[in-house]
């Protein structure tokens, strides 16, 4: 029986995995804590983890119908993430493992996302995995459990960060991704402004230019005032919807272009997986699914609660790492 903790950013989560299924996956989201700031405030995040971790851990055990004595291996996200947040989960989990004289395994948060589809699906190797969240955007070739090769990653902002920043510019609440999707749906995901599809000839991604391109386009059309740093009255809801819709189509196109490029290099792939918070986006999910079907590939994406940060995915990685004997010692530390 595996118990795992995830506190790398703004979700406090604990889960129990029995080797076959996820017995519990309790997630406390800090969205309400950070909402008024329009983004995650690291100091508030770690304080909130500290307040909630005991409660979340007890709920995870209760929902799984087990006690600490039933746990053989403890897993914890120890990198990458906000240092203060990672430390809360790590110290908590190490203290449990040490006091019970049980094994501990450190899990890379991104590896958690990469293997999250396996919790609900039988995914073949090799496959391409697109990871897109508020902190990361990368494409991997995944050849086995714990065996993945980075094909390309963002050189600046993550895709989710682009959604969050542009949503903030448009005056939508945090987190921006779901808001952009909602407003884009009003206009049936049409492309009005053809924003730049950056770095088309590279494996890496770049999203920071997108915010600048959108900002200058709004300024040119007198929809944004650079002196007051605010949208003007001319920027109607219809106009905001057009920006949201065009942005979403642009990011979808960038994703498809990178996958197309990777498939040329790795034509033996059997499937595409789409993971991380941005994978909650139904429009992008269905575009990637259609693309996979057209190319004779399988497509997998986790249900939304396993897309955003959660300890269930960390418990799953802890399980296969325990089978591989990849145990840490009690000196396990964070890496940011
Ligand atoms: O994986 P996650 O919970 O946390 C990180 O590791 O960052 O991802 C959060 C990110 C946020 O940037 C949020 O805006 C984005 O995922 N997101 C979405 C959607 N739901 C969440 N982006 C686009 N469309 C969505 N429906
Ligand atoms: Zn994440």
Q: Ligand 1 pocket check: which of 174, 308, 312, 336 to mutate, most ligand atoms within 8 Å of Cβ? A: 308
pLDDT confidence of residue 199: 92
Calculate how far, in angstroms, residue 34's C-alpha sits from the geometric centre of ligand 2: 16
For the CA of 110, the nearest ligand: 2
Q: What integer best gives the mean pLDDT of the chain?
A: 97
pLDDT confidence of residue 105: 98
Distance CA 99, CA 75 (A): 15
In ligand 1, the atom with minimum distance to the C-alpha of 304 is 20
Calculate how far, in angstroms, residue 181's C-alpha sits from the geometric centre of ligand 2: 19
DSSP 248-310: HHHHHHHHHHHHHHHHHH-TT--EEEEESGGGG-HHHHHHHHHHHHHTT-EEE---HHHHSS-
For the CA of 107, the nearest ligand: 2
Distance CA 20, CA 196 (A): 45
Q: What is the mean pLDDT of residues 235-256?
A: 98
Instruction: Specify whether the backbone of 296 is left (phi greater than 0), alpha (psi in -120 to 50) or beta.
Output: left
For the CA of 182, the nearest ligand: 1
- pLDDT(336) > 80: no
pLDDT confidence of residue 125: 98
Q: What is the mean pLDDT of residues 300-304?
A: 97
Sheet of 271-275: strand order equals: 147-153, 137-144, 127-132, 271-275, 298-300
Q: Ligand 1 pocket check: which of 10, 25, 157, 163 to mutate, most ligand atoms within 8 Å of Cβ? A: 163
Q: What is the pLDDT of residues 6-22, one digit of tens each?
A: 999 999 999 999 999 99
Residue nearest to atom 22 of ligand 1 (CA): 177
pLDDT band at 39 (very low <50, low <70, confident <90, very high): confident
What's the maximum distance between 2 C-alpha atoms anywhere in the chain? 65
Burial class (CB in 10 A: 0-12, 13-18, 19+), 56: buried
pLDDT band at 36 (very low <50, low <70, confident <90, very high): confident
Q: What is the pLDDT of residues 114-164, one digit of tens each?
A: 999 999 999 999 999 999 999 999 999 999 999 999 999 999 999 999 999
- Of all residues in the chain, the percent with pLDDT exceeding 70 is 100
Calculate how far, in angstroms, residue 95's C-alpha sits from the geometric centre of ligand 1: 31
Calculate how far, in angstroms, residue 315's C-alpha sits from the geometric centre of ligand 1: 21
In ligand 1, the atom with minimum distance to the C-alpha of 174 is 14
- Of all residues in the chain, the percent with pLDDT exceeding 90 is 96
Pocket of ligand 1 (CB under 6 A): 9, 133-135, 160, 163-164, 175-178, 181, 276-278, 280-281, 308-309
**Cα distance between the two ends of the chain:** 28
- pLDDT(211) > 90: yes
Residue nearest to atom 7 of ligand 1 (CA): 134
Q: What is the pLDDT of residues 261-279, one digit of tens each?
A: 999 999 999 999 999 999 9
In the numeric block, the tokens 């007198």 are attached to 222
DSSP 115-161: HGGGGTS-PPSSEEEEEE-SS-EEEEEEEETTEEEEEEEBSS--HHH
Q: What is the mean pLDDT of residues 219-241?
A: 97
Q: What is the mean pLDDT of residues 311-322?
A: 98
pLDDT band at 198 (very low <50, low <70, confident <90, very high): confident
């Amino acid at each position: 029986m595996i118990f795992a903790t995830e506190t790398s950013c703004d979700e406090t989560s604990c889960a129990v995995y029995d080797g076959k299924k996820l017995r519990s996956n309790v997630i406390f989201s800090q969205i309400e804590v950070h909402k008024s700031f329009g983004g995650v405030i690291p100091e508030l995040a770690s304080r909130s983890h500290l307040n909630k971790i005991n409660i979340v851990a007890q709920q995870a055990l209760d929902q799984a119908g087990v006690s600490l004595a039933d746990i053989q291996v403890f897993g914890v996200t120890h990198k990458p993430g906000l240092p203060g947040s990672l430390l809360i989960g790590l110290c908590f989990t190490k203290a449990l493992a040490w006091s019970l004289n049980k094994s501990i395994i450190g899990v890379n948060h991104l590896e958690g996302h990469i293997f999250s589809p396996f919790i609900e699906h039988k995914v073949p190797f090799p496959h391409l995995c697109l990871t897109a969240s508020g902190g990361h955007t990368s494409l991997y070739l995944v050849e086995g459990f714990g065996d993945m090769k980075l094909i390309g990653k963002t050189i600046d902002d993550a895709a989710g960060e682009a959604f969050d920043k542009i949503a903030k510019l448009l005056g939508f609440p945090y987190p921006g991704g779901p808001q952009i999707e909602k407003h884009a749906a009003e206009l049936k995901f049409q492309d009005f402004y053809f924003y730049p599809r950056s770095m088309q000839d590279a494996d890496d991604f770049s999203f920071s230019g997108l915010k600048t391109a959108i900002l200058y386009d709004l300024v040119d059309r007198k929809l944004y005032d650079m002196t007051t740093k605010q949208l003007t009255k001319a920027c109607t809801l219809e106009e905001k919807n057009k920006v949201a819709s065009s942005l979403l189509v642009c990011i979808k196109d960038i994703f498809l272009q990178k996958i197309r490029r990777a498939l040329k290099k790795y034509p033996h792939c059997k499937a595409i997986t789409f993971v991380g918070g941005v994978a909650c986006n139904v429009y992008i999910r269905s575009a990637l699914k259609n693309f996979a079907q057209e190319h004779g590939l399988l497509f997998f994406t986790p249900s939304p609660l396993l897309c955003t940060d959660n300890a269930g995915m960390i418990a799953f990685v802890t399980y296969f790492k325990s089978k591989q004997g990849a145990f840490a010692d009690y000196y396990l530390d964070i890496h940011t």
